[in-house]
A and B are shown apart, each in its own frame.
Chain A
Amino acid sequence: MDNDLLAFLEKEGIEKDLLDGVRAYRAENTVPAAYAKRIPDPDVYYYGKETWKKAIAALLCGENLLLAGPKATGKNVLAENLAALFGRPCWNVSFHINVDAAYLIGTDTFNGEKVVFRPGPIYLCATNGGFGVLDEINMAKNEALAVLHSTLDFRHSIDVPGYDKIEVNPAARFIATMNYGYAGTRDLNEALTSRFAVLDMPIIAEDDLNRLIRRKYPDINEQICGQFVKLFYELDKKAESAEISDRALDLRGLLDAIGLIKKGLSSGDALDMCITNKTFDAYERKLIHDVIASRIPQDMNRDIVFSK
């Protein structure tokens, strides 16, 4: 049971009603011992009070969640945090090109004596009342998605061909994530969208970002941290205004850059590697460089950046 997380959310100011709801849910639903290891123990907390509230409320009402937003907005972090908060084992499905119905639900296999059913992640999640994270669901093939329909809607069942139809455990929830850029549109088919409560993932707020970085790097210089944060939003704005493509910009890059500085790289090199060079257009790189140059000196080293 993740009581740290509960405490964190209390401090964040999440309504008592919601947190009580979570406590009640936890008391009601036990976890099979075999899967206790699957309950995540996150080391990064998701920051964003409003998003937390909506997500908790939706899950308490028995909804499945679709987290939609630009890259590195903490979709996976939130999904994992939610599984931890609700104290459920977690199954992760990444929708790469080879994922088909059989992979999701299960396949036959020979166990040495006879042919048996070898359950897939969706089956396990559904039967054990876990949290299934359907990552990058918009990358899924339609055929793979079709099997999810009955799992996700009022029928709450999975039809395993050649076997029985099984019931989805009422504690189970599915949290899907999908990416869309500033210019991109959502391209998930309607049938599927209608089976989720959709949560638009915002870009992390300035205050939260400051806290996020300082939690990850407790010894970072406060003022310099503030400049990194401002840099992030300046680049974000540039991408939003379509002056640069959004490829270069994501929070992951910024956090990685800070990490590299801590490892000993200079600020200039670290930002180049983690942000600027992610764009292959030379002109765009210049624009990004100009923004960086107006915030962060090129030659700050570890001792300067991490001097609390």
Chain B
Amino acid sequence: MIKRHYSGEQRRALNMIWNAAGRYDFDPPFMAFFPNGRPDGYFNMMIGLVDKWLDTEKIEKFFESYDGARDRDEYDDLLWLGLENCLYEKEIGERPILKMLRAERGERFFKTQQTLSRQQMMLQSMLVYNQQETRWARATGRKPPVLGPREKKMAQALLFPGSLDVDGVISAMKDFLREFFRFDVEKEAARVHGPKEVKGAAAKLLGLVMKKETRRVDVLMVRTGTGTGDREGSVQLRHNIGEVHNSEKAEEDLSYIKACFGKSIYNGHDLRALENDLCKDNDEGCRLWFTKGEPDPASAGTKTAVETAAAAKKQYEKNLAYYKHQAGLVGSSIRRLSAQLDTIFSSFAQPLPETSKHGTLSPEKAYRLAVLDDPYVFTHPGDEVENDVSVDILLDASASRMNSQETISSQAYIIAKSLVKCHVPVEVLAFRSLRSYTVLQVLKEYKEEDCSGIFHYFAGGWNRDGLALKAAESQMEQNRHGRRILMILTDASPNDSTRMPPEQGSVFMREYEGAAAVEDTADAVKKIRADGVRVAAVFLGATTNLENVHIIYGKEFVRIQKIEQLAVAISNLLTMTLREMRN
């Protein structure tokens, strides 16, 4: 056997599989990982046990036989539940710890559910989810979920008994697909549309904005075989059928982005230069879009684009209405904050120099005195002041913010307006990623006095924090000199549907999520800080992500409990940051 070159975590997964199989001389057709990239010990053991108790080759052949099926991932997940039960029953006698490991795996399932980002939650298949929940509830002694009659039958059918041999298991798997999906493995061409649900009212917009990607959030069973059309020896997380990026698709994506966010503020040439600069390494294959415009439903080419753009426009109206409703409150907040900020910012204000007959001799002008008899070679502080500090506020506009769009826009408006009153140049940006584009929406420019553009904020899509931060920095670089501060509103759980290229020595594409995405974002922050920009974060999110905030932003963050605290939090954070800068 030629041992493929695998990276650390994959090799670890392999070792788990080999250990359970009791042999080391085969390349398993599956490996199991958690979404954070760590190997899933329990399911890797199951994969190994397939070899020990059944027959890897036969089982692999079976899984291959529905390779082309549209709902292949769903079948994989369900059938592995079937296998799990059978193998559990076979192995438990020889490995008593299995009972405990199974319960632990169940606990893990429920814990994962709590930490999933909203985006991930909405994209999981409810069908698979219910079956998994049933299985793991049983293993952990929880109350099983309430299932419909068909789902109940399905759960029953997935309890493959340990008495089955490999042929018995395969025919059980065939029966299962035939009965519940009318999918006949023998008739390879048959296709079935399994229920693919994205639930909830808030999901409406999400459904429009996001590409439908079936991403498994519980077990991530990775097919390791060479599969059809793959290069020899390559191992890849497979994309959904019909999701391959071709040029036709790229064009559609572009018009979609245009329709939803307006045209780019950069011309094609500049944009490409920026992309060349920023979309490399982990962000290879990503695109950028900087826009100031409003959504443009009229220019939309497809039905989804029309709908999304219309939804975005509607959100603008809602944001505005919310603001108007609270105008009094907003006004008093602005007065309070600007008073607070004025004190600290004034110590950074630089009076512009004025040429004069007395004051400090300005060396580059001194010759004029001798040569031209010009006495105005001195400068002294004038009356006009300019602020040396500029602030950028970067707002997470991913789907996780779906429920607080009005509040976020109001809060951002308050802080921006307060800074404007203190003569601080401030830029407000929103970021989200979809269809491989990281879109930076300039809601308010530095020089603008008017802040109402901020009400164009709307949530939807993924968040590729690392790239968004770098893009924001480039935006600051082009427009401002002097001391720059970048404040970001974040939930510290970066994730995006566009994958990262494999690590060196590996053949796997990596998901932009979990530890890898956190690390990517931390690197981006490090780089930006090295360029002299102060970066600080306002964290609003689950406690489980608190550690991520530390990893990414170090000590420079504040946590808020609800979005209504955003403006005050930014103001406090700014004060702290400025004090530090002054010392």
Which A residues fall within an 8 A CB radius of B? 223, 227, 230, 234, 237-238, 241, 243, 283, 286-287, 290-291, 293-297
Contacts and interface: CB of A to CB of B under 8 A. Distances in A.
Given A223-B96, A294-B20, 7 more contacts: A237-B19, A241-B18, A286-B12, A287-B12, A287-B15, A290-B19, A294-B16
Nearest to B23: A237
B301 interface: no
A295 B94 CA distance: 10
Contacts of A237: 19, 22, 24
A294 B20 CA distance: 9
A293 B41 contact: yes
B95 interface: yes
Given A241-B24, A286-B12, A290-B12, A295 B18 contact: no
A286 B22 CA distance: 18
Contact of B97 (A234, A243, A295): A295
Interface string B20-61: 101010000000000000000100010000000000000000
B16 A290 contact: yes
A227 B15 contact: no
B217 to A, nearest CB: 23
24 contacts: A223-B96, A230-B95, A234-B19, A237-B24, A238-B15, A238-B18, A238-B19, A238-B24, A241-B24, A286-B12, A287-B15, A290-B15, A290-B41, A291-B15, A291-B19, A293-B41, A293-B101, A294-B16, A294-B20, A294-B97, A294-B101, A295-B95, A295-B97, A297-B100
Contacts of A293: 41, 101
A238 B14 CA distance: 12
Interface of B: 8, 12, 15-16, 18-20, 22, 24, 41, 45, 94-97, 100-101
A227 B16 contact: no
Contacts of B100: 297
Contacts of B19: 234, 237-238, 290-291, 294
Nearest to A296: B97
B97 A283 contact: no
A294 B41 contact: yes
A283 B41 contact: no
Contacts of B15: 238, 243, 287, 290-291
Contacts of B8: 283
Contacts of A290: 12, 15-16, 19, 41
A286 to B, nearest CB: 6
Nearest to A300: B97
Counting from the closest, the 6 A-B pairs by CB-CB distance are A241-B24, A287-B15, A291-B19, A290-B16, A243-B15, A234-B19
A223 B92 CA distance: 12
A223 B97 CA distance: 11
Nearest to A244: B15
A258 B328 CA distance: 73
Nearest to A286: B12
B24 A227 contact: no
A301 to B, nearest CB: 15
B57 to A, nearest CB: 20
B37 to A, nearest CB: 14
A128 B559 CA distance: 83
A45 B347 CA distance: 85
B449 to A, nearest CB: 57
Contacts of A296: 97
B49 to A, nearest CB: 11
A283 B95 CA distance: 25
